[in-house]
Amino acid sequence: MIIPHPLLGPRDAQEFTYLGDASLLDRPDPDAATAAEDFHAYAYLRDNPAGQHQELWFHEQGDRSWLVVTRDTTTHEILNAELARDVVLARRAAADKGADA
């Protein structure tokens, strides 16, 4: 497979290490009353879709950035790749905006 790295262009997937579902970006609040259940769901439960899947890849043999790759698990087609850091910061910014409004 070839992963379209947002900074480095197309790179062979062999340069990357796979982690799993990008829901791992959404680490729950450890202080919430439901933290035990939340962390159980976070660490163990997966949508595991047959189709589009957002997932985390680490460019271990490259620039060591974590990417969020959108890939179809039935065709392996890659639809998008972003820096995980950008994704998280954008989400948090959006959430803050929502909170302000």
- Distance, in Å, from the CA atom of 43 to the CA atom of 97, rounded to the nearest integer, reads 28
Q: Does 7 bind other proteins (CB under 8 A)?
A: no
The residue (of 4 and 98) whose beta carbon lies closer to other proteins is 4
What CA–CA distance (Å, rounded) separates 38 from 16?
29
What is the distance between the alpha carbons of residues 3 and 16, in angstroms, rounded to a whole number?
9
Q: Kindly tell me which residue out of 6, 55, 62, 82 binds other proteins, with binding defined by CB under 8 A.
A: 55
Any contact of residue 21 with other proteins (CB under 8 A)?
Answer: yes
* Nearest CA among 34, 38, 8, 12 for reference residue 26: 38
Applying CB under 8 A, the residues found at the interface with other proteins are 1-2, 13-14, 17-21, 24-25, 27-28, 30-31, 35-37, 39-50, 53, 55-56, 58, 60, 64-66, 71, 73-78, 83-85, 88-89, 92
